[in-house]
Amino acid sequence: MKWLDRDGWREVLIDVIEEHCDAARERGLDSKALMEMLGEPAASNLWGCAFEDFLTRADEDDRNVVDDYLKRRGWKENGLTRKYMKALRWSAMSLYEVSGVIPGESFLARDLVRGGEAVRVYERSGSKSLKTWDRIGARLVDIDGRIEMAGGVLAFDAETSRELLGAIKAMEVESAGHIEKFRAEFEGVLADAAAIEKMEKLAFLQLAAPLFSNVWLADFLQKTLDPKPRKITNSDGEDLVIVTMRFPLTSRTTRDQIRDAFEANPSLSHAGKAYWNWLKLEKPNRKRSKGARQPPEGLMVASTMSDGSTILGAVEIKGRAVLFTTNSRERAAAAKAMIETDLKGLVKEPVVTEQTPEELMASRGETARHVSRVELPEEEIRALVHGNLDEHYRQQLDEPIPMLGNVSPRAAIKSASGRKKVVDWLKTLENHMARVPAGDPMADYDTKWLWEELGLMSQRR
């Protein structure tokens, strides 16, 4: 760091840092405001990425700070430090997929840009927080055959990592002419075509280093400054709103009259002494036609019977009233019309209440302390949760998934491109499960059976 004050190196570093913060400048943020917003350790990680990029750069006179330092002061450093500095000087940022984590020791990293087999990376502190199928932007350096990770590391979620890979592809096309200059230099000293291609990739990724920081930073700023609530819908694509309608019985109405009317309705399935599920009469069509309505982006909430029938709502006779609950205003309007037809003269106008998902979550926190809990053994809770997850994911195998292009996993695996998407989907599920806190009933849920069910275990690597 002291060496930066010699020969104008600090100015070069500042220029590189600015390149890595373009996304912040576009938002009108200066460096101080940005660092305060990022906090630690994010600010240090971003700075580390810029600094390590600076170590690979040449100035206007084609000088490099590492070469300069080692030439003039390298004698002050031990052999291992010199090797590490040289490795950083010729390093490149890339996007890696994590697997085979041994906490406190190492992990496997597969290069998603350059391809090839996963390599074992020896990293003591970082391996404690990494989870299977995490995606990280990092520099890997080879020190006497031992692969280590440099300090500047950025974590990307699945969606942002796909955006980054797309941006890298676009930049690769745009910078083709620039890379040709390097090819001419490589061909002058390297005879092996594979070695030339490897150096070309290295030169390109060194050029692309600020792209990693800016894609990551743009995502962070978007989520911080313009958080967009995730759209939650039911299976018909309607905004999720919990609607409860309470229809008071008229003075002369008996519960048996209500029960008889409900039993005569084919869309109501008896589920208890005074409880019915309201079902969609047509059976689900697993094959979607070209004109069929596509499921919306965001989170879709759907409830189904064991035969796949969609549950639209629930109705209950409670005291001297009929309670009808459903999950959208559109379904509530249809349910109201159905009840008024089936129970004409037997019920009065309903009292209607609505709750959005946000209101429901807020009220849950306020009322949770008043709800008495039935204490169950942890093993029973775990078994119940795992059983529900099994049922949920088994149904999802035949349901359209937005991440798969709105086709089901079973349909997607019939093509090579579809199988790749399904593998990414399965890795995303497994990564989410790996991040469930210890002690949660879902914490040790194993999704390997999904890979086996779809015949994709050979690609779980």
- Cite the beta strand spans of 18-90 per DSSP E: none
Residue 15 lies in a domain: yes
Q: Are residues 366 and 389 in the same domain?
A: no
Using only C-alpha atoms, what is the Rg of the chain? 29
Determine the structural domain holding residue 425 and report its residue range.
379-459
Q: Are residues 249 and 348 in the same domain?
A: yes
> How would you write the pLDDT of the chain (461 residues) with one tens digit per residue?
888 888 788 888 989 999 999 999 888 988 888 988 998 889 999 999 999 999 999 888 888 889 998 998 888 888 899 999 999 999 999 999 999 999 999 999 999 999 989 999 999 888 889 999 999 999 999 999 999 999 999 999 988 999 999 998 888 776 666 666 666 665 555 556 676 677 778 888 888 899 999 999 999 999 888 877 667 787 788 888 888 899 999 999 999 999 999 999 999 988 777 888 888 876 555 444 443 344 445 566 666 666 667 888 889 998 899 999 888 899 999 999 999 999 999 999 999 988 777 666 555 444 444 444 445 577 777 777 787 778 778 888 887 777 787 788 998 999 999 999 999 999 998 898 888 887 777 778 888 999 999 999 988 88
pLDDT score recorded for residue 149: 95
Residue 20 lies in a domain: yes
Residue 290 lies in a domain: no
Among all chains, which residue has been given the structure tokens 């580390």? 48
Q: Are residues 69 and 197 in the same domain?
A: yes
Q: Are residues 236 and 221 in the same domain?
A: no
Q: Which residues sit opposite 5 in a β-bridge?
A: none
Last residue of a domain, one of 351, 370, 389: 370
Q: Are residues 334 and 416 in the same domain?
A: no
Q: What is the DSSP string of 193-238?
A: HHHHHHHHHHHHHHHHHHHHHHHHHHHHHHHHHS--PPPEEETTSP
Closest listed residue to residue 225, CA positions, set 27, 40, 41, 36: 27
Last residue of a domain, one of 345, 370, 395: 370
The b-or-e profile of 208-233 (16+ CB within 10 A means b, else e) is bbbbbbbbbbbbbbeeeeeeeeeebb
Q: Are residues 414 and 365 in the same domain?
A: no
Report CA-CA distances (Å) from 319 to 88, 332, 378. 74, 21, 35
Residue 319 lies in a domain: yes
Contact assessment for residue 284 and residue 240, using Cβ atoms and an 8 Å cutoff: no
Residue 107 lies in a domain: yes
Q: Are residues 211 and 236 in the same domain?
A: no
- The angle at the Cα of 132, spanning 129 to 135, to the nearest 5 degrees, equals 80
Residue 429 lies in a domain: yes
Q: Are residues 432 and 354 in the same domain?
A: no
Closest listed residue to residue 279, CA positions, set 305, 242, 247, 316: 305
pLDDT score recorded for residue 107: 96
267: part of which helix (H) or strand (E)? none
pLDDT score recorded for residue 360: 60
Q: Are residues 187 and 277 in the same domain?
A: no
Q: Are residues 275 and 189 in the same domain?
A: no
Q: What is the CATH number of the domain that holds 340?
A: 3.30.70
Report CA-CA distances (Å) from 428 to 131, 234, 323. 11, 22, 39
Residues, the chain: 461
Last residue of a domain, one of 225, 240, 269: 225
Q: Are residues 335 and 353 in the same domain?
A: yes
The structural domain count of the chain equals 3
